[in-house]
């Protein structure tokens, strides 16, 4: 699983059509809401996070990545009863970091994607945990094994999802 | 300066976006009520997501119903037979429990207690969730247009589910009882210890604020105490699974929810709860009259001619002289006393008995709703004076002056009180009890009093059997 260090000029930047830009995050949030009802274990997965990572790494533009992450996070927040911004802040930061990383590394291969997804899942959970405890005053318990296993599970799902979403990419 | 801005443009944008979100979050946390902008965002998000969930749910249900109700009927006969047996057993149990319930209601009425009756519910389908482990809430397909309001209790047949948190035009968000920000008043069924039922971050339910020196056993049932003002009293919450010493002076009591919160499909939203005093006559009136009838002196037999007239009316099964169908008991009109005691008394005692019986009937007429649903398969007694009232009115007499009945006939369920589920006869004018008729006293089917010797008139002519319950 080679992770190639490249310059910004060497990596390929992709763009997406408006229907894909709007429709894929919407579908991810909707599926997250709907599938969790019928398959309770599905709450382990975070499809909106995977979509955020994918768009951020494909566009390789930090501003675009953080805005995409923020919008998806706020949309996800709106379906919960928690204050708006908990997911928003976490996904804003993940979007920024993922796009920054995508600009520096070749993350097109499966191995790199797998590792990057695990890392960003854990980063996302740490940010979320910090905000939920520090700002919203929720009582949460942190469990490394749980988070790492969830990260691996998300990375596996992410591989298939990224493969499917690769077909929607448009070269600039 | 310009070069610095362009060099750190990305970081500056990130900082601005993050600061804006943190500020917004802090404002939301500080404010107790939601701002209009936040509410708009939620409305847009929910309005965008829930129509698809509704559509999928309806398609899913339609397909499922077609398959289960028309295509896949294997084992239905066996299941039906089992359910019938179960119904019979439950009827017996219900008959026993209804006596206890009637006694409890009488005691509560004596003490002036008020009960909460679930008056009205709205059935709703669960169509989606928040999708987050930290926000245990679901969306239902009923909203403001269906009469749903915030803070209404949401239940299933198994127990409580949660409360309505946010109401949208056609959908609502329900906060589940296992969310860490939810709570309900709870009471242990056996020990009557009260506490607060709360959710935890891991999605479990705990009963808090029970002192550590109290005896709580795993397996004890937890019910709602009604103290929270949302959930009516007495609804199942769950079962105690683990008891251990907790913080400070309190026990750490884990509760397994009565409802499977991970597999919710249909729920009931309690849209109307009424407080009222339990009627002491609930479910116990027929028995009281029965007992009263036993204590009365026997009435001398009538001459054969009058007896023949009377028997035709006495033997007609009336709408109330049949077992109350169990399944619909909660929604049916309350049972009325079939025989006013004064009809069984000598003529001179008629007036005061009428007043007493009217009062009893009035009390019983308040016993509607779910809490009064403990209708047993007892035989309700035909109000002889009610039947006689039109006649009395026609004669220009007040009810108090209605002549009392002069003899007593005992109608056993087997002969006169055959079950007749439909209530069509309820609209028909009572056919019994002209002033001189024999009032029909139907004994409870499973009551010991039915077997006791009573003043039974001599065998009556055939018309009784000709006007059977099905005619």
C-alpha distance from residue B56 to each of A34, A38, B17, B141, B155 (Å): 9, 12, 36, 12, 23
Model confidence at A93: pLDDT above 60: yes
Chain B, 371 to 430: residues with Cβ < 8 Å from chain A are: none
Residue matched to tokens 């002036």: B112
Confidence of residue B396 (pLDDT cuts 50, 70, 90): very low
Model confidence at B383: pLDDT above 50: no
Name the residue among B53, B166, B263 with its Cβ closest to that of A33. Answer: B53
Residues B289 and B434 in one domain: yes
On whether residue B317 sits in a domain, the answer given is: yes
CATH classification at residue B234: 2.40.10.340
Residues B167 and B304 in one domain: no
pTM greater than the 0.80 cutoff: no
Domain closes at, from B276, B294, B322: B276
On whether residue B91 sits in a domain, the answer given is: no
Total domain count for chain B? Answer: 2
Quickly list H helices, chain A: 18-38, 47-59, 62-78, 86-104, 110-134, 144-166
On whether residue B43 sits in a domain, the answer given is: no
Domain span at B411: 285-466
Q: Can you name the residues that pair with B214 across neighbouring β-strands?
A: none
On whether residue B190 sits in a domain, the answer given is: yes
Among all residues of chain A, which has the CA nearest to that of B42? A78
Domain closes at, from B211, B241, B276: B276
On whether residue B84 sits in a domain, the answer given is: no
Residue A73 burial class via C-beta count within 10 angstroms: exposed 0-12, middle 13-18, buried 19 and up: buried
C-beta separation of B115 from B101 below 8 A: no
Residues B253 and B345 in one domain: no
Average pLDDT over residues B282-295: 52
Residues 6+ apart with CB under 8 A from B360: B281, B285, B288, B337
Instruction: Pick the range with the lowest mean pLDDT from A29-38, B64-73, B79-88, B349-358.
Output: B349-358
Name the residue among A43, A75, A100 with its Cβ closest to that of B133. Answer: A43
Percent share of chain B, pLDDT over 70: 56
Contact between chains at B24 and A33 (C-beta distance less than 8 A):
no
Among all residues of chain A, which has the CA nearest to that of B38? A84
Residues B294 and B393 in one domain: yes
Chain B, 155 to 214: residues with Cβ < 8 Å from chain A are: 165-166, 173, 175, 179-181, 200-202
Contact between chains at A62 and B131 (C-beta distance less than 8 A):
no
On whether residue B248 sits in a domain, the answer given is: yes
Residues B302 and B416 in one domain: yes
Residues B259 and B290 in one domain: no
C-alpha distance from residue B139 to each of B31, B135, B178, B181 (Å): 24, 12, 15, 17
C-beta separation of B183 from B207 below 8 A: no
Asked if the ipTM is above 0.95, the reply is no
DSSP string, B176-229: ETTSTT-EEEEEETTT--EEEEEE-TTS-EEEE--BTTS---TT-EEEE-STTS
User: What is the C-alpha separation between B83 and B89, in angstroms, rounded?
Assistant: 10
Residues of B in contact with A41 (CB under 8 A): none
A85 touches chain B (CB under 8 A): yes
Residues B398 and B446 in one domain: yes
Residues B338 and B219 in one domain: no
Residues B217 and B348 in one domain: no
Note the pLDDT tens digit of each residue in B324-360.
334 343 333 333 333 333 333 334 333 333 333 333 3
Confidence of residue B164 (pLDDT cuts 50, 70, 90): very high
Confidence of residue A30 (pLDDT cuts 50, 70, 90): very high
Residues B270 and B367 in one domain: no
Residues of B in contact with A96 (CB under 8 A): 10, 14
Choose, out of B25, B52, B131, B247, the residue to mutate when testing the contact with A (most A CBs < 10 Å): B131
Domain closes at, from B242, B276, B310: B276
On whether residue B196 sits in a domain, the answer given is: yes
Note the pLDDT tens digit of each residue in B123-152.
999 998 988 888 899 999 999 999 999 999
Residue matched to tokens 């209601």: B105
Residues B266 and B352 in one domain: no
Contact between chains at B131 and A79 (C-beta distance less than 8 A):
yes
A14-171 CATH: 1.10.1760
Instruction: Pick the range with the lowest mean pLDDT from A82-91, B5-14, B120-129, B415-424.
Output: B415-424
On whether residue B345 sits in a domain, the answer given is: yes
């Amino acid at each position: 699983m080679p992770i190639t260090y490249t310059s910004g000029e060497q990596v390929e930047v992709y763009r997406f059509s408006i229907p894909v830009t709007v429709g894929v995050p919407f579908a991810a949030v909707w599926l997250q809401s709907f599938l969790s009802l019928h398959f309770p274990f599905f709450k382990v997965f975070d499809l909106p996070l995977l979509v955020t990572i994918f768009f951020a790494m494909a566009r390789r533009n930090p501003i675009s990545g953080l805005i995409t992450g923020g919008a998806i996070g706020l949309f996800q927040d709106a379906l919960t009863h928690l204050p708006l911004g908990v997911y928003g802040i976490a996904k804003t930061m993940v979007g920024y970091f993922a796009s920054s990383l995508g600009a520096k590394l070749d993350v097109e291969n499966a191995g790199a994607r797998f590792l990057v997804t695990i890392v960003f899942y854990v980063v996302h959970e740490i940010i979320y945990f910090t905000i939920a405890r520090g700002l919203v005053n929720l009582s949460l318990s942190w469990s490394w094994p749980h988070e790492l296993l969830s990260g691996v599970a998300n990375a596996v799902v992410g591989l298939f999802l990224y493969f499917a979403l690769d077909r929607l990419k448009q070269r600039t | 300066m310009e070069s610095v801005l362009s060099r750190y443009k990305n970081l500056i944008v990130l900082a601005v976006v993050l600061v804006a979100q943190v500020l917004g979050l802090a404002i939301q946390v500080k404010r107790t009520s939601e701002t209009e902008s936040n509410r708009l965002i939620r409305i847009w998000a929910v309005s965008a997501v829930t129509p698809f969930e509704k559509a999928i749910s309806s398609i899913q249900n339609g397909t499922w119903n077609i398959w289960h109700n028309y295509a896949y009927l294997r084992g239905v006969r066996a299941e039906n037979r089992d359910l019938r047996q179960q119904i019979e057993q439950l009827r017996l149990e219900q008959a026993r429990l209804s006596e206890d319930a009637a006694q409890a209601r009488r005691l509560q009425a004596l003490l002036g207690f008020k009960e909460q009756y679930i008056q009205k519910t709205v059935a709703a389908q669960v169509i989606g969730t928040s999708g987050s482990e930290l926000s245990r809430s679901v969306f239902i397909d009923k909203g403001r247009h269906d009469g749903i309001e915030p803070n209404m209790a949401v239940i299933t047949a198994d127990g409580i589910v949660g409360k309505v948190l946010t109401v949208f035009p056609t959908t609502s968000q329900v906060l589940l009882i296992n969310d860490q920000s939810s709570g309900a008043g709870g009471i242990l069924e056996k020990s009557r210890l009260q506490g607060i039922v709360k959710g935890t971050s891991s999605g479990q339910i705990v009963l808090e604020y029970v002192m550590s020196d109290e005896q709580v056993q795993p397996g004890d049932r937890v019910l709602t105490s009604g103290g929270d003002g949302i959930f009516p009293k007495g609804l199942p919450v769950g079962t105690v699974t683990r008891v251990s010493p907790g913080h400070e002076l309190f026990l750490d009591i884990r509760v397994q929810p009565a409802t499977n919160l991970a597999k919710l499909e249909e729920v009931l939203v309690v849209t109307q709860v009424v407080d009222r005093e339990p009627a002491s006559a609930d479910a116990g009136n027929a028995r009281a009259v029965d007992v009263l009838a036993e204590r009365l002196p026997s009435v001398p037999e009538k001459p054969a001619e009058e007896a023949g007239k009377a028997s035709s009316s006495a033997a007609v099964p009336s709408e109330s002289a049949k077992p109350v169908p169990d399944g619909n008991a909660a929604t049916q009109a309350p049972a009325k006393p079939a025989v006013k005691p004064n009809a069984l008394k000598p003529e001179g005692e008629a007036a005061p008995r009428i007043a007493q019986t009217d009062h009893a009937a009035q009390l019983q007429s308040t016993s509607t709703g779910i809490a009064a649903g403990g209708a047993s398969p007892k035989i309700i007694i035909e109000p002889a004076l009610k039947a006689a009232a039109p006649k009395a009115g026609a004669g220009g007499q007040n009810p108090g002056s209605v002549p009392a009945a002069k003899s007593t006939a005992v109608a056993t369920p087997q002969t006169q009180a055959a079950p007749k589920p439909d209530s069509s006869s309820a609209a028909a004018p009572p056919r019994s009890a002209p002033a001189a008729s024999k009032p029909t006293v139907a004994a409870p089917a499973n009551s010991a009093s039915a077997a006791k010797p009573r003043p039974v008139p001599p065998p009556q002519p055939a018309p009784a059997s000709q006007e059977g319950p099905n005619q």
